[in-house]
Amino acid sequence: MLSVFARPKPCRIMILLRDNETQWHLSKIAKNSDTTYVYVTGLIRKLEKAGFLTIEPKGKKRIVKLTEKGIKVANTINELENVLEN
């Protein structure tokens, strides 16, 4: 039902990134959100520019983390998803 109100892929990715225990790199985000690497890189670039997340280089990988603003949005998306499921 969430797909009626919001785009599913960005919502899925934001909810995934709420797990700050996991080191989320771009290919891992793509795999776990069932999207392509190209889609993830484009979306992540837009979200970083808007201030929802940061990208930290770590070796060859780039680690993605939500900012405070991003955490608020991800929690709101998760809450909306929970309301729509009940």
**Quick one: pLDDT band at residue 56, thresholds 50, 70, 90?**
very high
The arithmetic mean of pLDDT across residues 13-32, rounded, is: 95
Q: Where are the domains of the chain?
A: 8-85
pLDDT at residue 86, rounded to an integer: 79
Q: Is residue 62 within 8 Å of 6, Cβ to Cβ?
A: no
pLDDT at residue 1, rounded to an integer: 64
Domain at 8-85: CATH architecture: Orthogonal Bundle (1.10)
| Averaged confidence pLDDT in the chain | 92
- pTM for the complete prediction? 0.87
